[in-house]
Amino acid sequence: MLNEKEKLQEIIRLGSEVTEINDLDLVLEKILRKAREFVNADAGSIYVRDEGTLLFSHSQNDTLSRKLQPGKKLIYTTFSLPINNKSIAGYVANTGEMLNLPDVYELPGGVSYGFSKTFDEVSHYRSRSMLTVPLKTSRGDIVGVLQMINAQDDGGKSISFAAEDEPLIAHFANNAATAIERAQMTRAIILRMISMAELRDPKETGSHVNRVAGYAVEIYEDWAKRKGIPHKEIDETRDVLRMAAMLHDVGKVAISDLILKKPARLTNEEFDVMKHHTFLGAKLFANPSRSLTKLRPRSP
């Protein structure tokens, strides 16, 4: 059991750790995982603000994950919530107030927000205690909501979240909000570069590059775990690999339309020209000081 000084040191360390990640999806994953570990929460979700709504962006659940076959991951559906006082996450985003609820099935009388039991009923899970925290920047802007579910004691029994942990989690959430903002800016720059390629090749869409990036990260993570690569190195490589994979075809902007948009089969000579897009794209990141160039191949 950590004392107060040790908890403060740990939360500062965790805040610094999440700011080292550049990819938006991976930073959301890590923020949620580290916050859950700190308060020993069985599950949790993270929402990202998109104007007047909250996008359900990432979810974790240890109890449900243990029921899966080895190597499998939870599949969840994304959805959005209006930022108003009707839902727990919406209330926190709307008011900027943290909510620490001992049991979401027995909410205090007179509150405006409610809890939807739909997920519990579908997944056969029982949500009890819930700590919902606004992801607020130093300017006071709320970029999302961090929600942790079912704090656990040493025996795995669901308990309430400790009130003394609230200011520490609030501090972590502030650092996490800054990390999310920075990752959003990085993602926006990458998507603008992809948009350039999309103008030349309509097949090069945002959904396509996201799928390629997702596959690349999953394949690498499975390979790296089987090779016994340290977890820290896996995290660092996943971050760089995901961004690099999203930009895999950006060099197409330098390929002639006569080849890029040719409806018929390419000749061997044209196909050789098309393959040039790989190193033409790499030239955009030729500066060795940039993080995307830090990715180094390992022996298989």
Query: Residue 77 has which token pair?
Result: 């559906």
Q: What SS3 class is residue 164? A: helix
At 241-281, the pLDDT tens digits run: 888 888 888 888 788 888 888 888 999 888 888 888 887 77
Arch. (CATH architecture) of 183-294: Orthogonal Bundle (1.10)
At 219-248, the pLDDT tens digits run: 998 899 888 998 888 888 888 888 888 888
> For 72-100, what is the mean pLDDT?
91
What pLDDT, on a 0 to 100 scale, did the predictor assign at position 201?
67
Cα–Cα distances (Å) from 146 to 46, 54, 180, 225, in that order, read: 5, 11, 12, 28
> For 65-83, what is the mean pLDDT?
84
List the chain domain ranges: 4-176, 183-294
4-176: CATH, from 3.20.20.70, 3.30.450.40, 2.40.30.110, 3.40.980.10: 3.30.450.40
> For 20-27, what is the mean pLDDT?
87
Residue 143 has pLDDT above 80, yes or no: yes
Which run of H or E residues covers position 151?
Answer: strand 142-152
Residue 205 has pLDDT above 70, yes or no: no
What pLDDT, on a 0 to 100 scale, did the predictor assign at position 297?
45
What is the Cα–Cα distance from 85 to 65, expressed in whole angstroms? 31
> Given phi > 0 = left and psi -120 to 50 = alpha, else beta, which region is 240?
alpha
More confident residue, 122 or 45: 45
> For 53-74, what is the mean pLDDT?
89
Task: Tell the residue number behind the tokens 């930009």, with chain if given.
Answer: 247
- CA distance from start to end of the chain: 41
Mean pLDDT of all residues belonging to the chain = 86
Residue 131 has pLDDT above 80, yes or no: yes
More confident residue, 271 or 205: 271
- Are the CB atoms for 134 and 142 separated by under 8 Å? yes
What pLDDT, on a 0 to 100 scale, did the predictor assign at position 92?
98
Residue 298 has pLDDT above 80, yes or no: no
